[in-house]
Amino acid sequence: MPYWRLFYHLIWATKDRNPMIDDAIWPELRRLLLLTAHKNELKIHGVGGIADHVHVAVSIPPSMPVGTAVGRLKGSSSRILSQSLGTDFSWQAEYGVVSFAERHLPPVLACISGQPRHHAANRLWPALEQLGESSPDPSSAPFTGLMD
């Protein structure tokens, strides 16, 4: 396909929401996600999160289902992190995804990079933060509320 512009905000959590992603793991996790994305022709625009979940802004080619892209990102990162850490690092099966327009990329990236700040101030979009639980209707909070 000669031209495509598809943008997604992906969110997934560690198994049982265990706080497994510390400052020492973040650089390796980012590296693994970027490597997997490159191998699968995905374009990662930003990665962030806190100790128990990850947010990723990514462009996924139209030939690949979103679930396949998420599965590859989660699968390779958990496998390699488990090996390198010598522990059972794993993700929950669930994930969240929201598509957005290219013009919203800067505020989405600000949201992703500001995850620790958003959590500290409790300025969250519940539909994206309650993965693995009974998530509310995504329309219950405006997407722009994350970027105030």
Beta-bridge partners for 43: 59
User: What pLDDT sits at residue 115?
Assistant: 73
CATH of domain 7-147: 3.30.70.1290
Q: Which two tokens stand for residue 52?
A: 């128990």
pTM for this predicted structure: 0.82
Listed by start position, the domains of the chain span 7-147
Rounded Cα distance, 3 and 93, in Å: 32
Q: Are 75 and 69 in contact (CB under 8 A)?
A: no
Note the pLDDT of residue 143: 43
Buried b (16+ CB within 10 A) or exposed e, 7-26: bbbbbbbbeeeeebbeeeeb
pLDDT of residue 111: 87
Kindly give the parts of the chain with pLDDT less than 70: 116-148
pLDDT for residue 28: 94
The confidence score (pLDDT) of residue 131 equals 55
The confidence score (pLDDT) of residue 129 equals 59
26 sits in which H/E element? helix 26-39
Q: What is the pLDDT of residue 44?
A: 98
Query: Which of 71, 64, 65 lies closest to 33, judged by CA?
Result: 71
Rounded Cα gap, residues 19 and 52, in angstroms: 4
